[in-house]
Amino acid sequence: MPRPHFDDIFMELAVNLAKRSHCIKAQVGAVLTKETRIISIGYNGPPAGTHNCDDEFPDLGCPRDSKGSCSLALHAEQNAILYAAKNGSDIAGSTLYVTLSPCIACARIIYSMKIERVIFLHSYAQYKGIGTDEGVDFLRRFGVQVDEYAPGDGFSLVSDPPLARRV
């Protein structure tokens, strides 16, 4: 049996982290690594100390902002990056594994934090039904390596994260 590549290990962890999300609309996980070591993890949801969307709004999910996004939640990438920064981790030069490609707002944060590489499982543009992956385009334009995840030889993810919670 071949040994799994670190990309496979970290994406599998991101998939499992997505399952911790309380979001009714989408469940997204993220793993921030540097030199094959985990710096931080995150999944989408409201800030700590507030309420979970599936508890407070079990039928429709949390209120939407003017662009149709959750008005309460932090994205998985934001949670992972904020936790790492809060704990003084050196993020520059790191790699971010995420189950949904970054939106434009997260892409700006990723670039600003000098994250070197992003590996994503699913396309944000396809999920949202929009023409282009603005976050991916932004990152590539400014020199961040962005790759769609491709499993290594003989490896497949144990499970794929649900983008919509089955209620």
Q: Is 56 a catalytic residue?
A: no
Domain boundaries, the chain: 6-148
Q: Kindly tell me if the per-residue pLDDT of 87 is higher than 80.
A: yes
Model pLDDT, residue 23? 78
State how far the Cα of 22 lies from the Cα of 79, in Å rounded to an integer.
Answer: 14
State how far the Cα of 120 lies from the Cα of 101, in Å rounded to an integer.
Answer: 5
State how far the Cα of 65 lies from the Cα of 87, in Å rounded to an integer.
Answer: 30
Half-sphere exposure (Cβ direction) of 16: Cα atoms closer than 13 Å: 9
56, 77, 116, 134: the catalytic one is 77
| pTM assigned to the model | 0.86
Q: Look up tokens 């936790």; give the residue.
A: 83
Per-residue model confidence as pLDDT tens digits over 113-163: 999 999 999 998 888 888 999 999 999 999 999 999 988 766 666 666 555
Q: Are 95 and 119 in contact (CB under 8 A)?
A: yes
Nearest to 80 by CA among 148, 37, 112, 33: 33
Instruction: Give φ, ψ of 39 to 5 degrees.
Output: -95, -45
Per-residue model confidence as pLDDT tens digits over 98-123: 999 999 999 999 999 999 999 999 99
Architecture, CATH, for domain 6-148: 3-Layer(aba) Sandwich (3.40)
Model pLDDT, residue 111? 99
